[in-house]
Chains A and B, each alone.
Chain A
Amino acid sequence: MRYKSQKVAYWFFGLCMLLLSLQLVYGFIMAFAHMGFDNLHAIIPFNTARAVHTNLLVVWLLSGFMGAAYYIIPEEAENELVSVKLAYVQLISLALVGVIAIIGYHFNYWEGRKFLEIPRPLDWLVVINVLTFLGLILVTLFKGKKQTTTSLVLTMGLVFAALLYLPGMIWFDNQTMDSFFRWWVVHLWVEGVWELIMGGILAYLLIKITGVDREVIEKWLYVIVGLTFISGILGTGHHYYYIGVGKIWLIIGGIFSALEPLAFLAMALFAISMYRKGEKKHPNKIALSWTLGTAITSFVGAGLLGLAHTLPQVNMYTHGTLVTAMHGHLAFWGAYGMIVFAIISYTLPNLTGRKLYDSFTGLLAFWLSTIGMLGMTVAFGVAGVTQVYLERKVGLEFGDVQTELQVHFFILICCATMFSTGIGLYIYDFIKYGRPNDEALIEQSL
């Protein structure tokens, strides 16, 4: 750490750990409900658990991205954050909005629009919060000495993510229109601008960890984000096949979304080849595992498992089944969960001054959570394919099919337990690091 103000990142990462733990609790509630044990129905019905699970996910990922930006931007721009106080205000208000929304979901205060359940009055608070964050980042960046490609790509991703939140705030009377613009947020986030954020953080980590020349890394960063947008923007069409818009999207969406895995493939190859090329062997093995892990797992979860159901002929049958949940888990975890874990693992020793570079619990956390999540993906996948076959091909009743699937949710719970153990160990390490402090300041950051 070279700038005192970078310390604020720590608290955003702490918020991540907290919200993630809660998210998992609600995941278990749903998995048990699927298995036939919906005992909490009267207090936490399934739709409450689900809204909490997915919204906590989004909030902790955003908190992680923000923490990453507060750490990376001062260092890249060579400038202290312009106002640390405002950053803390922003952190607390982010936590508050999140908590209010989540409490509201337990009292029927929401808007039933998948992933965008936050009621519109609260949306305005989100907007103010994000504007504060962006203001801080932009002023710090442009008043700083340098505007590197890495910091520009990261910032661009954050600015676009904020802009794309807006189409989700418009009111529509027509369900098809509602869905059409909901995807401008959801799809263009995860298969567009969030990839810029991921790419920016990944490039930063590779520069630090492998020691490969910045110019080389940043050149490939442009290629990756270029591939992302060229395929991802028109790839939005894969959500427009069957919602009441024209057949042109079957062709456009089919072709361009089938190209989307290229961006993830490029990201994986990029990380691996920079690692092999790099001369510097950074001692932080844990950060290295998460960095390579995110690049590879995102290709599998988002790229390959996305491709598996993105062609219209396949999607006709899998659309809106557990197959989607299978892909959703490994994609979100591999691409965005793991990149946040990577940056946390890289920054913690620098923020706190404790060099737990190679701890056994740290490596165990990586493997347990990664293998656990792969197992969950298989469980969702087997359940999903069975559902598609019995319900959409054979024509059995929804409910009869679900009864057949209960056993797969038992397996899901086993794998989720393994995953959660990994997360538990990670949080244990996180706490063991202790607080960030100024003694960790050094001239030349590692």
Chain B
Amino acid sequence: MLSKSQARAFFLGGTIITFVIFLGLSWNSLSNEVPKQTHVENLTAQVVQGKHIWESNNCMGCHTILGEGAYYAPELTKVYERRGEGYIKTVLTSKTPWSPRGRKMVAYGFSEQEANDMIAFLKWIGETDLNGFPPKPNLKK
């Protein structure tokens, strides 16, 4: 039967081995894959500014991006492609809550500049290679 010290060795050994592999894989992802898949060459100061606005207003508290966030409002990774610049700008600069079908968005009333920064961010993230996410609806007639 398994003894206590063998059980401890299983715990410590298993942890160390998997952790080292995890660090190696993470290193590889961050140094080789992320720059390519996220097109870091397009990560301009304006995109970073857009991300800042995204965070400081907790947009992720209603929407998802990269599939992460809340489930109250639409997934926005591909919104630039789906809606285009004009639509997004209207939503962001609106002084009254945007509320298609009754569900309300906070009326941020962003300036032209802020809206452009956000659009740059959404455009950049829309070009990320996400291994096929979001899926194409395959039952659509």
Contacts and interface: CB of A to CB of B under 8 A. Distances in A.
B10 A316 contact: no
A155 B57 CA distance: 37
Contact of B2 (A223, A229, A248, A393): A223
A176 B68 CA distance: 11
Interface in B35-64: 37-38, 40, 43, 47-48, 51, 54-62, 64
Contact of A219 (B2, B21, B133): B2
Contacts of B2: 219, 223
Given A220-B7, A234-B22, A402-B101, A179 B68 contact: yes
B83 to A, nearest CB: 11
Given A245-B29, A320-B68, A398-B74, A230 B103 contact: no
A230 B25 contact: no
B128 A244 contact: yes
A444 interface: no
Contacts of B103: 33, 36, 38, 399, 402
A82 to B, nearest CB: 27
Interface of A (DSSP majority class): helix
Interface string A385-396: 001000111110
A240 interface: yes
Q: Most chain-A CB neighbours within 10 Å: which of B2, B22, B55, B132?
A: B22
A182 B65 CA distance: 14
A191 interface: no
A286 to B, nearest CB: 31
B37 A246 contact: yes
A279 interface: no
B100 interface: yes
A215 B4 contact: yes
Give the contact-size bracket for chain B: 35 or more
Contacts of B95: none
Contacts of B67: 242-243, 319-320
Contacts of A223: 2, 7, 10-11
Interface string B78-100: 00000000000000000001001
A174 B34 contact: yes
Q: Most chain-A CB neighbours within 10 Å: which of B133, B134, B138?
A: B133
B40 A174 contact: yes
A242 B4 contact: no
Contact of B61 (A48, A226, A256, A393): A48
A177 interface: yes
B11 A219 contact: no
Contact of A240 (B29, B72, B134): B29
B104 A180 contact: no
A245 B10 contact: no
A206 interface: no
Contacts, number: 207
Given A51-B61, A223-B11, A176 B128 contact: yes
Contact of B60 (A34, A114, A229, A387): A114
B75 interface: yes
Interface stretch (A90-98, A293-301, A321-329): A321-329
A226 B15 contact: yes
A233 B60 contact: no
Contacts of B72: 30, 33-34, 46, 50
A324 B69 CA distance: 10
A173 B32 CA distance: 17
Nearest to B51: A175
Interface stretch (A63-71, A105-113, A356-364): A105-113
Q: Most chain-B CB neighbours within 10 Å: which of A105, A248, A316?
A: A316
A317 interface: yes
A316 B51 CA distance: 25
Contacts of A219: 2-4, 7
A34 B70 CA distance: 12
Contacts of B131: 241-242, 247, 250
A320 B75 contact: yes
Given A47-B58, A222-B7, A399 B74 contact: yes
B33 A245 contact: yes
A54 to B, nearest CB: 9
A246 B29 contact: yes
A296 B30 CA distance: 38
A197 to B, nearest CB: 15
A395 B140 contact: yes
7 contacts: A50-B62, A114-B60, A223-B7, A233-B22, A234-B25, A316-B135, A399-B74
List of 4 A-B pairs having minimum Cβ-Cβ separation, nearest first: A47-B61, A395-B137, A112-B58, A320-B67
